[in-house]
Structure 1
Amino acid sequence: MSVDRLTGIHFEHPLLLLALPPAVLAILVLARARVRAMPAGQRAATLALRSLIVTLLILALAEPTFGILRPFRNVVFAIDVSESVSQQQRDWTRAWVRQAIQELGPNSRVAVIEFGQWAQLAGSGSALPSGGETNLEQAITLARSALSSPESSAGEIVLLTDGWQTAGDAPRAMRRAAAGGVTVSYVPISLAGQQPPEVTVASLDVPPFARAGDLVDVAAVLHSTGQIAATLRVSLDDQVVSEQQVTLRPGINRVPVALRLPATGFHDILAAVVPAQDTRADNNSLVTSTVVKEPGRVLVLEHEPGQASRLVEILRADGLDVQVQPSSQIPPTTEPLTGYDAAVLVDTPATSLTLDQQKTLQLFVRELGRGLVVIGGQRSFGPGGYEGSTLDEMLPVSSRPPERPERSSVALFLVLDKSGSMASAWSNEASKLAMAREAAIQAVGLLQPGDVIGIVAFDSEYQWLVPTTRIENADTIRSIQDRISGLESGGGTSILPPLQAAYEAASRVDARLKHIVLLTDGQSSDRGYEALLRRMEQYQITLSTVAIGSDADTELLARLAELGGGRYHFTERSTQVPRIATQETSILIRSAVVESEVTAQPAASSPLLRSLPGELPTLNGYIATTPRQRAVTALETSQGDPLLAHWQYGLGRVVAWTSDASPAGWSSRWLDSGWPNAGLFWSQVVRWSMPAPVRPDFLVSAQPEPGGHRVLLRVESLREDGTFANGLDTRATIALPDGSAREVALPQRAPGVYEQTLAVEHPGTYRVLFSQRAGDQVIKEELATFSVPVPGFEGRTAGVNLVLLRQLAEGTGGRELRLPADLVASPPVARLEERLALWPWLLGAAALLFPLDVAARRLSWPARRVTTGSRSATLAGTAVPAPERERVGIHGDE
């Protein structure tokens, strides 16, 4: 229960208090001579009384008051009279307010305002026209002003409204009210008796721009006053493309529709709802429009010719402009790629790309805002040497395979060049042979019991430095490492014989994974590599190569790694050799390649999977990777390994598909025409990665305000160097629904920003051509469109917007009210401060003290002996000779 609260003492003229110390001091100085002959007690009493009287008089002149805060009701009722509120509802709200005022009683302070687009006090003399927009911000702002008074600025605002604002910013007004201690409560006008059933198409959310062939998400927002069954039809350019039965619940209903957009140009989209019951039909349909642009351009980069042929066929059938080229031809800069919206990198090892080429892809996505789809295969991700590379940094998955408690047995064969040239070194580095020895030692250290190791050293001839050996324990590893340490250089270079020996040894080993790593800095004139690699493939033996220095036969080694199913590495620093060798060993022992039948399971909601009905096909394999935290894993295996993942990278997007795209490979069922959704799946993957079909240097928008009576035309323009394009002649040519056209200038409002707000007189669809000129030359153009419905937004609401009303109440400590008694029963928010004047009491006290002052001066006090030299006298009781009276300071009766 609220109680009175004291606020202390206040002064109307506080500056007068500054005169108090000097006045008291003056009294003490002036009266001292007059009371000097008085006894000490009488003198002190007299001075104290005079000082107190003066103090009381000065305090009274300062007019002090005593403050008391008493709770009281300070309420403003705001009644909605906009177009969306019926006459029956207005009458009900006014009656509710009259009853609430009656129950609050005469000691409350109340006011009533009515609002639509504007707000004013009810009964102010000028009639507020009914209808129009709903501006809750205006209502709350005026109500706050009505609450303010010299006594109190706090209080309560009671909104009687349906909550559908079409103008202003109610949350902004709410924050200001909360800061001033004002609460906002609401009375939902749905309580105004039995309302007839009503369904409206409130809005139709359609992307303003799209590409030809895009499958876009359209959302029809329907308002309903009750549980109503209805049919929703969506038409594209007067052709019905979707029809579905919906059950609408009271309030807001959002119904999604996937719509494929056809050729370029302007397209009208209409949503119509046919309810079983409805009171009016003019708000049951709504038309909006969009601009469809050219389909995107895609560059497919394949490591081997023809390996992406089926994927290219699918994308072209979807309408995309697809170009194909070898991934080895990625340019060192992004300039040749600016004409593409996305790139697809198919089963390409990172080791086959230079650092500049990887940087090109990185800048293509991160700074140009384009898309990249990375498709797996035997030479991608972990097996492709992605780990630690620039390419891996871009991916929504980490190329490092997850650690497994179980793994397949491994057979690793190292073929090390120990020719005379390996004894040399660059700069102050250790020799190439020393680094090769260190590489072998570190690689062996990564092996585990059960693995097999073999090391062949060669120059013009070869020898088994470590014959085929199965690791038993740590002692085995140390023994092998000791033998590696004694390797010395000498002789020429002959690669084929040691490679042949390693193959023959590997073919006799029983191991799930067999891998050969060749390290050399020289060239060899041997022939017959292709035949050897074909035999290796039969035994599933893979080969990676490491070219140490530019003197190595880099072309041969790259070709051997490609045909051998491994990775090609090139380094001009001998110190990098151990890292490369351990990386190869790590890839091998972690067994990134998973070849078995795999079921793809949805892991998270993703736009890449929309409109894919039924079960997904199985896969025959994939590359094991690790998901990244910020990425969305759309599909995964039963073990939790990512199959399809995507994320935003800089300004662009990157998608990773960890299986392959080969018609005869792991994903054959996903590319087969037998799966009816193959085209939809692959086109959605690629199209999602593309940027929006707008010019980033010339962003335009035509946005009607909620009421539909005005539209904001806006342009954001940049120059080629990324700076703001200022001071340019910017215009908008508007094609009106009646076929006429109008050109308006868009003045500059901010750096690079040009905008203008226009009144819209007629409903219908408007087309806008934005242009920018430098002199007489048009340098930029862009299209846009917008629609103004009939009736406006006010006629498209049904029921009560409880979401907004609850937001306003919760943000200010208000609540929902149903009966006037709910308002009366709640504790008052405001307190009225009453001031009690203290100056009459101070004057009265001063008047009462004045006779006491006179009495204190005239009253006889007990005698006191005064000694003056050798003589004495008695004061206040004995006559004293005149000279003695002069000496003791007695002057007359005072």
Structure 2
Amino acid sequence: MKALHRRTLLALALQAAALLALAAGLAGLSWLDPRSQPTLLVLLDRSLSMPRQPVDQAVQGLAQAVQQAGGRLQTLDFAGRVAPAVPPADGSAPDLAQEATHLQAALEAALALHARQPLAGLVLVSDAHATAGDSEAGLRAARSAGLAVGWIPIGRPPPRQRIVGLLAPQHARSGQPVRVTAQVDGARDRPLRVRATARALDGRSQAAQAEVDAQGRAELRFDALAPGAWVVEAALVDGQDATPLHTLADAAVLDVQAAAPLLYVQGGPAALADSLVRGGWALQRVPAARLDGQADALAGVRAVVLDDVAATDAGPRLWAALDIAVRQHGLGLLVLGGDRSFARGGYRGSELETLLPVLAEPAAMDQPLSLVFAVDKSGSMGQGSGGVDRFAMAQRAVQDTARGLGERDALGLVLFDAAPRVLLPLGPAAAGQAALQRDWQASPRGGTQLAPGLQAALAELAKAPASRRMLVLVTDGFVDDAPLAELRARLQQDRIETIVLAVGPDADVAALQRLVGDGGGQVLRVNEAAELPRVMRSGFERRRARVQQGAITVQQRQDLPFAPGRFADWPPVAAYAVTRAKPQATVAVQTESAEPLIAWHRAGLGRVAVVTSGLGPWAPQWLGWRHWPPLAGGLAEWVASAGQGGTALTVTDNADALQIDAEGPPGDAPLLRVDSPGAPDRPVDTDLLVPGRWRARVPAAGPGLYTLRLTTAQGTQRHLHLRRPSDEAQTFGIHPALAAWRAAGWVVDANPATLLRAPAPTADTPPPDRSLLLLSLLLFLAGVGVDRSGGAAALWTRLSGRWRRWRPGLNGRSA
């Protein structure tokens, strides 16, 4: 009875233990099942840019750390492709396409594994240099799945010396030298030389070479390339024995276009024009005096250079035509300073100034001005040639010129015929400007007596304090018996600057010149009365304009918009016109007082640049400077290269496509056609982002030359883009995108202990532990066996007895 009781208790205990093991397994508790251990998946980049030994060492370190943390490590190799889950049946190594890196595909494979069996974490061992796919999309998907991504950055160290890039102009002109800058990085322990070759599509080639300077730059020059696309490759060699050190294939593309003339208007020596001609540029050189007849010629040139040209050198028709050509047709404009430009050239408030990136600085505020106008109102001023009222024009000229005075200036007006009349006594300019706008209560009549009128004006100026004094005289008559020597002496004694406007063909210019003498005055001839307001204002502003002189230090503030961008050791300039940059302008070169020397902006479709010191007498040391050729040619090339369509194009190489961004005047969507390697010329749709900005995506057909043609209402422009092969052998270091991914929170530190502690990122019930289920089954069966066999002891007794009976028989048969 006791044996039965013991047998029952043992069976019940075994079955109870079986139930406990089953409950523990179903509840998610783990024992010996490896699936219940937290799993860390490691994606190993096996592309050619990854050094094998450091990657293997990183895996070993991870394995030890995961084991210590009580987890399980699983690895997955990838490159351009991801290793298959099942190895090839023939035992061969899988083809990972090691010449590429596809991070997105690796992350998607990890997410597929995570969907089947939740992972505790993920670690990527890579240099982050993806050549295919969208890596950021893969990282965002991992984050959405709740899967933490750690990263171990391993990259191949760069060679001791290498070419990191070529800086080449986007466009070049046929017949002109093309300068390309190679940037070399690495040790400078020996002489280095860069050898480059430019190859045209028809097989023609041209070689160039240059020494690498102390800044790691080699300035290469290709002479007179024919029109077409030229692909440039470069090699770095030892400067002594020509040992190859590094090669950069398909490094840049040059779009060489047929030469188009520049309209060069010169008001002075024109050193830039001489330099451009030597460089192969086609110029139409025109003296400033003939500028007015060039309005119709603007359609046949790519850019206009105004070298020390005054606004008075042309009339309204020319300036209106120039404005339309620049803003609507993309004509380039380069304006150079000098004695006849900017404020001295009457730019302030002119139509020309509206195109420029700078404003002619107003009058110097450190010295107030006392200004008296003396206007002839004799009968001959009533009517001039063409029926124009000279006196009315003089009145308008005085009003316009007076607007240029400041609040600290003083203003007066004297009218004279046979006798003088002080219409406006010398007083504050603000009150005088308002009074001049009212009716002058005067009409032309009588003869001309110059001396009394000048004496009245001088009497008004005598009231002025010891500051700058100026007299503006307007007359169309003869200087009869006026005591010129006495008047000139009075002007000089009182230090009065004089501007005389001689109106019409009958004005006695020679006598007026004797009046002002050779010192502080000038005589301006006004042939047509309608020109009087413009000539007076220009002459006044030119007289009062600020021009800084001396040995003026030059500072480069920003990169220039052409290669190489920056120059070292700028020589000083001798003078420059003081201007003020407009808000939208870019000032690249300036003085120590932060006043512009070289500035530019875009006016409509056209590029406009100014050099306030000019490129001649005011900057003599620049002409002999070693950087003079790229500076002179770069300025001309930049303003002339706005593109016939007038739309700015930017092409970005993405891993699987080209991204094309176009920016231009709002309107209809541009028409884009792309000719790519292996795919003929075809249209590509553009998407409107905001008014005036479009974007297109072109699936990449592989490395090579892409030709883009963009058509807008302003015309068609061509853009060449060279897509370099994804050469893993040229990839070094860690891609900068990894830092941005860390900042965005898509990547964390690859700490196995931290990643394994992360909760399983899934809401599904974890799989039962197979070891506990097996234990539960064994205990249950053991309990059943105990219950039915009468106990383990009885079961053992019966089994051993039967064995003793069978053994003799077995032995006899075997004998």
Calculate the TM-score normalised by the size of structure 2: 0.65
Which secondary structure does the structure 2 equivalent of 1:401 belong to? coil
Closer, same or farther: CA 454–360 of 1 in aligned 2, 3 Å: same
Partners of 1:624 and 1:196 lie apart in 2 by 49
- Amino acid of the structure 1 residue aligned with 2:727: F
Partners of 1:438 and 1:283 lie apart in 2 by 71
Alpha-carbon contact 2:140-2:746 (below 8 Å) kept: no
Identity in percent: 21
1:116 aligns with 2:79: yes
Select the residue among 117, 138, 154 that pairs with 2:105.
138
Closer, same or farther: CA 288–806 of 1 in aligned 2, 3 Å: closer
Alpha-carbon contact 1:155-1:829 (below 8 Å) kept: yes
1:170 aligns with 2:131: no
Partners of 1:333 and 1:617 lie apart in 2 by 35
Select the residue among 528, 533, 539 that pairs with 1:555.
528
Alpha-carbon contact 1:337-1:364 (below 8 Å) kept: yes
Partners of 1:283 and 1:518 lie apart in 2 by 70
Partners of 1:628 and 1:216 lie apart in 2 by 31
Correspondence for 2:521: 541
1:807 aligns with 2:769: no
How much does 1:688 deviate?
2.7
How much does 1:133 deviate?
0.7
Select the residue among 600, 605, 608 that pairs with 1:654.
608
Which secondary structure does the structure 1 equivalent of 2:344 belong to? coil
Partners of 1:656 and 1:700 lie apart in 2 by 24
Which secondary structure does the structure 1 equivalent of 2:610 belong to? strand
How much does 1:385 deviate?
3.0
Closer, same or farther: CA 155–821 of 1 in aligned 2, 3 Å: closer
- Amino acid of the structure 2 residue aligned with 1:362: D
Correspondence for 2:558: 605
The number of equivalent residue pairs is: 665
CA deviation string 1:484-503 (max 9, x = no partner): 98753242686344889798
Computed over aligned residues only, the root mean square deviation of the Cα atoms, in angstroms, reads: 5.6
1:300 aligns with 2:254: no
CA deviation string 1:71-103 (max 9, x = no partner): 996743211111223443453344344334424
How much does 1:166 deviate?
2.0
- Amino acid of the structure 1 residue aligned with 2:361: R
Partners of 1:479 and 1:297 lie apart in 2 by 46
Alpha-carbon contact 2:548-2:578 (below 8 Å) kept: no
Correspondence for 1:828: 758
Select the residue among 338, 357, 360 that pairs with 1:377.
338
Which secondary structure does the structure 2 equivalent of 1:605 belong to? coil
Correspondence for 1:46: none
1:411-430 matched pairs, under 5 angstroms: 412-417=372-377, 419=379
Alpha-carbon contact 1:299-1:344 (below 8 Å) kept: yes
Partners of 2:51 and 2:397 lie apart in 1 by 90
Correspondence for 1:218: 181
Alpha-carbon contact 1:272-1:285 (below 8 Å) kept: yes
How much does 1:378 deviate?
3.5
Select the residue among 593, 596, 617 that pairs with 2:549.
596
How much does 1:374 deviate?
1.2
Partners of 2:284 and 2:510 lie apart in 1 by 31
Closer, same or farther: CA 820–350 of 1 in aligned 2, 3 Å: same
CA deviation string 1:173-200 (max 9, x = no partner): 3344445544432112359xxx897665
Select the residue among 728, 733, 743 that pairs with 1:794.
728
How much does 1:205 deviate?
5.4
How much does 1:599 deviate?
0.9
1:618 aligns with 2:573: yes
CA deviation string 1:7-30 (max 9, x = no partner): xxxxxxxxxxxxxxxxxxxxxxxx
Closer, same or farther: CA 421–655 of 1 in aligned 2, 3 Å: same
Partners of 2:396 and 2:101 lie apart in 1 by 79
How much does 1:275 deviate?
8.1
- Amino acid of the structure 1 residue aligned with 2:598: L
Alpha-carbon contact 2:505-2:527 (below 8 Å) kept: no
How much does 1:568 deviate?
1.6
Partners of 1:816 and 1:481 lie apart in 2 by 77
Closer, same or farther: CA 516–205 of 1 in aligned 2, 3 Å: closer
Correspondence for 1:749: 684
How much does 1:527 deviate?
4.7
1:724-873 matched pairs, under 5 angstroms: 745-750=680-685, 758=701, 793-798=727-732, 800-817=733-750, 820=752, 823=755, 828=758, 830-833=760-763
Correspondence for 2:48: 83
Correspondence for 2:596: 642
Partners of 1:283 and 1:183 lie apart in 2 by 39
Correspondence for 1:685: 635
CA deviation string 1:592-627 (max 9, x = no partner): 2326324141141332795755451431x3322112
1:508 aligns with 2:475: no
Partners of 1:454 and 1:219 lie apart in 2 by 64
Partners of 1:234 and 1:534 lie apart in 2 by 66
How much does 1:327 deviate?
5.1
- Amino acid of the structure 2 residue aligned with 1:168: G
Partners of 2:652 and 2:318 lie apart in 1 by 42
Partners of 1:411 and 1:208 lie apart in 2 by 52
Which secondary structure does the structure 1 equivalent of 2:343 belong to? coil
Alpha-carbon contact 2:298-2:325 (below 8 Å) kept: yes
Alpha-carbon contact 1:408-1:513 (below 8 Å) kept: no
Which secondary structure does the structure 2 equivalent of 1:568 belong to? helix
Partners of 2:633 and 2:596 lie apart in 1 by 20
Correspondence for 2:415: 457
Partners of 1:440 and 1:333 lie apart in 2 by 28
1:399 aligns with 2:355: no
Select the residue among 235, 238, 244 that pairs with 1:272.
235
Alpha-carbon contact 1:76-1:157 (below 8 Å) kept: yes
Partners of 2:397 and 2:719 lie apart in 1 by 66
Alpha-carbon contact 1:415-1:502 (below 8 Å) kept: no
CA deviation string 1:256-308 (max 9, x = no partner): 544333212365644334589xxx97855545453333445211124x5xx24
How much does 1:160 deviate?
0.6
Correspondence for 1:439: 399
Partners of 2:593 and 2:297 lie apart in 1 by 41
Correspondence for 2:282: 321
Larger radius of gyration: 1
Partners of 1:356 and 1:479 lie apart in 2 by 29
Correspondence for 2:788: none
- Amino acid of the structure 2 residue aligned with 1:300: Y
Alpha-carbon contact 2:329-2:646 (below 8 Å) kept: no
How much does 1:417 deviate?
3.3
Partners of 1:267 and 1:768 lie apart in 2 by 12
How much does 1:646 deviate?
2.0
- Amino acid of the structure 1 residue aligned with 2:685: A
CA deviation string 1:628-651 (max 9, x = no partner): 233232333344332322223333
Q: Which runs of 5+ in 1 are unaligned?
A: 1-65, 248-254, 546-552, 570-579, 735-742, 761-765, 773-778, 837-894
How much does 1:382 deviate?
2.3
1:529 aligns with 2:509: yes
Q: Which runs of 5+ in 2 are unaligned?
A: 1-26, 29-35, 198-205, 449-474, 688-695, 767-815
- Amino acid of the structure 1 residue aligned with 2:573: T
Which secondary structure does the structure 1 equivalent of 2:133 belong to? coil
Correspondence for 1:341: 302
Closer, same or farther: CA 207–675 of 1 in aligned 2, 3 Å: closer
Correspondence for 1:863: none
CA deviation string 1:367-403 (max 9, x = no partner): 3223211123334222333223332122111113375
Partners of 2:86 and 2:577 lie apart in 1 by 77
